[in-house]
Chain A
């Protein structure tokens, strides 16, 4: 059942994966949003209001209302100069591959979105913070930025409007915590990427102490379309109360792992069975992480829930990045949990105790368990650790994210953990 709906994010993309050139982007209606903003005398506040009205929510995982965040930026003459827009292209959440897709295939969409967003918050300088491993994306973005400068879409006095914007591409040194909003700011400042405590919030004290907005790549990509086609149109794209489309993905032992632009609120089942083709022959579904490594497992009974910001809360989970990781019945849940925990433990920045100490401990417990050296009491220790990692208990969201797969695995696959302990081996190996 392929319904007819708009796919603003991907409609210009080429099936062979080659990049949408500047000319192709313009021919398809690109750079009209920025023209509209600059030439029809829209004020920054008006652009902000339009995005606010669209109810666009951040697609990096947190889901904060984008327009509302933009409205927190102080404006006017007394505001310390410059204001910054930072695009978070540090996609490192395991199982997540949507931003790479957007940046590699249609870089100008991101650039235009960044321009409109920068204008809306009266930013003078914008950075795209790109993870260092995304080599192809960095080449294509660098090229696209150069093209945009040449066409005078960037730099001084854009399109004769008097608005100036510098856009720089920064490649990260490589650390998951750079994807955290304030960790990113520290990384961009050339420091260790420890996150910052909030308050103060980036719109008040951000990059180099100046007002700053950090937005995810996918979020920014939505912006030109909202301006071009209006907030009600954007709202109407979604099936539930969240508006817009979303890039949803599936990885794991399904027939067609992939990425699809679908209406916000599409059900888990539709994505899994219709687009990803369901499980491969010979394996059965056991559960999935709906939105990357730091989301809680959901199981069969939850498959009809909508993928949007709120609905998965009923299952004790969340949409996260919207890219699902599927667990099949031939894959060990303990091994999967260990793999996830090992990732988080390795990426801990080392600032707050429950994270740097507790994740390391959980990593070692799960490794021992998987290798047949689990002990009774291990599950209690793991459960206690997940409580230590609850939001508010730690300095940032990394450890609370690590808690999600562990606590839900213990809930849904407890017998598998117990078998490892009792049988002194991994039954799957």
Chain B
């Protein structure tokens, strides 16, 4: 660490960083705009000015930008120097010249970085008397709102969107004091990470359009730390609600997982929680019933015995375990389709046994050679795609370092790096949105993808099995060389191809290359559900068909997404009693005799295990309305009183899950005897919320399950990472307050980031290479091999219920490379499960004989893919 004198006070700073970073890490209130810990410094706004002195004798000094000055040993600066203070106030004055008097009507108000910095500089009087420049706003789609008059030209938006996220439909237009940030013309922002603009923009130019539909100020919301439910990566979020309506999702910083960014599905997919079709009370034989009568009915069925329970990979561990306890382990069934469960278990086994290690998303950014086998990351594990996009900068960084350019000097690094990219090889069936930064892509059927993987492993280590007839595969050799020459090689794979061989091939590569290995998984608790175990789902159906089950309890799972329509119809018809716990109507709930209204992530506490094997706890944002209850509370035995009891019982019964208790402090945790408030201390209207029902002030709801309170009252201190409902510090009302929670800005949260990793194998572990190498794919004359295709907007069950996501959802289609069909043509796809009518999209990069079909939204919810089928022009 270097010693830098700030107003004559010696402070420790990281000499590889700049002075702004150092000052903020030391807790100084130094205003800034254009710098961002994830984006580095460019020196545009000039807000972070400090006075720098040559030495102790220099009493005059000169103004420098702290973000552009290295925190070198012995540097002397002053933040309080009057000239610097006046200059910084002058900058705010310059920004406010054209800024509209929007605060009262601006969504950003109350969490606005511009507001905070204005107050911080002390500028408070408008001397400007001329006209302000104004703009026409654009409609950028249903997610991000555009209000250009508020722009302070800090350039953060385009740097994030284009440079960091790889988008090319947002840029700066014109110049001087009327730079316009937008698209060439109105239209939906194309990048899947556009939502981060609402946090990146320090003013109200880019704001959350979904929040606007039901707006509340940050200080008026009640928050809770949560975990995204829309894929398996487990990005940390904070969910904000008011008066029982979930208002929005914001990023909750986790250095190891999502860092500063979310994907658009995670940020904007929450609206299903507010859907008016939500079950708010039990429905018994189609009629609303009281909780008491519902419970009576449930108890009756349990007492009668011969009850089976089907769990879910989108329900929490606690919910799954409660069901398992209720029905007994012998009658508890996995909620995943058999084949999918097998793949997940295979992936878990590989990661648990080692020796390869699964990296964090943060570590993925630092990988310097990446091989993606069979995964369309942007659509399946979007946040990972964003990390991989950063990883291709790692190897070129070495050349930049030789030029002695500090890595935080963003444009200097980019100018030095030009278009150089580190090795990224993407082997998938069809093109992906990461292809623009790939060294090479390879498009083939799953078996051939597996063969490529096996060949790479063999090229790395001749003791790994060779691929017959593919001994010297140039691409395999090239990939092997790239992985071998890297310091932090990474292999990425997953269950998307539906192929065991692909997963095994990836494992072979990782072992041979001594690389890290990341697996993606379909749902937010796929890994947790797999670890919990349970009999195969097909066995549950068989039990029903055999007449061995009188009651089937289905937990948060639309089985029509797991098995063909006809099969589900017959199974559910055959089951005498069907009890379903879920949030929204779906084909399975249609068949239920009793529907129990299950709390969503916003109304429940629970634990998910991400595809990284990280156990993370999410907490309810508000007390659910009406009879909505966390699923585990519907199903638990009476003697479990709170979440801690469930966790204890889970850990005792399933030692492989014991560590989940450490994912967050227990309900007994206090800071100086006080709970952690879910609301900022300025929250208003809490006691008036029910005044229209009862004039007497209600008692604050109690939360027996966590250390959080449903109130603004509690400790003012910073909670541990797993319990942070919102980021706020004195003077920092905006998301920039995250700085004050980190030991070093941009680094881990103080006290460690949230979550507990379950898979940390010893690198000494040996594991034999997998050797079941499939034969090369052979196209068939009249049939097509149909493989699943996923869409970030469209394939995820819950987010698709959000109107904004539905608007963006890709129309389900068939992707194919064929001269037989034309773009847009309607075809009929015939599989074992039935015939489906879909439009065609021509993908010239795909191999012959194979087609990809959109899955996850009607009509193809649970197709048996991969599988052979026919495709014919529709009549």
Contact = CB atoms under 8 A, between A and B. Distances in A.
Interface string A330-371: 000000000000000111111111101111110010001000
B598 interface: no
B412 A392 contact: no
Contacts, number: 113
A129 B131 CA distance: 37
A384 interface: yes
A200 B177 contact: no
Interface string B374-417: 00000000000000000000000000000101000101100111
B496 interface: no
Nearest to A380: B127
A175 B174 CA distance: 12
Given A199-B405, A393-B49, A352 B128 contact: no
A356 B177 CA distance: 5
Contact of B418 (A209, A357, A364, A393): A209
Interface in A194-209: 196-197, 199-200, 204-205, 208-209
Given A358-B94, A392-B62, A394-B46, A200 B87 contact: no
Contact of A381 (B44, B45, B127, B415): B127
Nearest to A177: B175
Contacts of B177: 345, 348, 350, 356-357, 359-360
A176 B71 CA distance: 34
B95 interface: yes
B94 A388 contact: yes
Contacts of A347: 176
A352 B45 contact: yes
Given A197-B412, A352-B45, A357 B403 contact: no
Interface string A177-194: 000000000000000100
Nearest to A381: B127
A200 B405 CA distance: 7
A352 B176 contact: no
Contacts of B46: 352-354, 393-395
A197 B68 contact: yes
A205 B416 contact: yes
Contacts of A360: 97, 176-177
A297 B91 CA distance: 27
A348 B177 CA distance: 8
Contact of B176 (A192, A345, A368): A345
Given A196-B415, A388-B87, A353 B153 contact: yes
B231 to A, nearest CB: 36
Contact of A356 (B62, B64, B129, B179): B179
B43 interface: yes
Max count, chain B CB within 10 A of own CB: residue among A205, A345, A358, A390? A205
Given A200-B415, A356-B153, A350 B95 contact: no
B47 A353 contact: yes
A4 to B, nearest CB: 46
Contacts of A377: 127
A196 B415 CA distance: 9
B175 A209 contact: no
Interface string B195-208: 00000000000000
B170 to A, nearest CB: 14
Nearest to A357: B94
B90 A384 contact: yes
A197 B94 contact: no
A197 B43 contact: yes
Interface string B118-154: 0000000001111000000000000000000000110
A381 B49 CA distance: 20
B42 interface: yes
A204 B127 CA distance: 44
B172 interface: yes
A352 B130 contact: no
Interface in B243-288: none
B97 A350 contact: no
Given A360-B97, A364-B130, A388-B90, A350 B179 contact: yes
Contacts of B405: 199-200, 205
A360 B217 CA distance: 34
B376 to A, nearest CB: 32
Contacts of A350: 153, 172, 174-179
Given A357-B97, A361-B130, A348 B176 contact: yes
A381 B128 CA distance: 10
B44 A393 contact: no
Contacts of A353: 44-47, 91, 94-95, 152-153
Contacts of B178: 350
B793 interface: no
Contacts of A209: 415-418
A83 to B, nearest CB: 15
A192 B176 CA distance: 12
Nearest to B33: A353
Contacts of B416: 200, 205, 209
A346 B176 contact: yes
Contacts of A356: 153, 175-177, 179
B64 A392 contact: yes
A348 B175 CA distance: 7
Nearest to A202: B415
A197 B43 CA distance: 8
B154 to A, nearest CB: 9
Contacts of A345: 176-177
Given A357-B94, A360-B97, A392 B45 contact: no
B155 interface: yes
B63 interface: yes
B45 A197 contact: no
Given A197-B68, A200-B412, A395-B43, 19 more contacts: A197-B43, A205-B415, A209-B415, A209-B418, A347-B176, A349-B175, A351-B153, A353-B45, A353-B47, A356-B175, A356-B179, A357-B94, A357-B95, A360-B176, A388-B87, A392-B63, A392-B64, A393-B49, A395-B44
| 5 tightest A-B CB contacts, nearest first | A357-B94, A350-B175, A350-B179, A209-B418, A360-B177
30 contacts: A196-B415, A197-B43, A197-B409, A199-B412, A205-B403, A205-B405, A205-B412, A205-B415, A205-B416, A209-B418, A347-B176, A349-B176, A350-B175, A351-B44, A352-B43, A352-B45, A353-B46, A353-B152, A353-B153, A354-B90, A354-B94, A357-B94, A358-B94, A359-B177, A360-B177, A388-B91, A390-B63, A392-B63, A394-B46, A395-B44
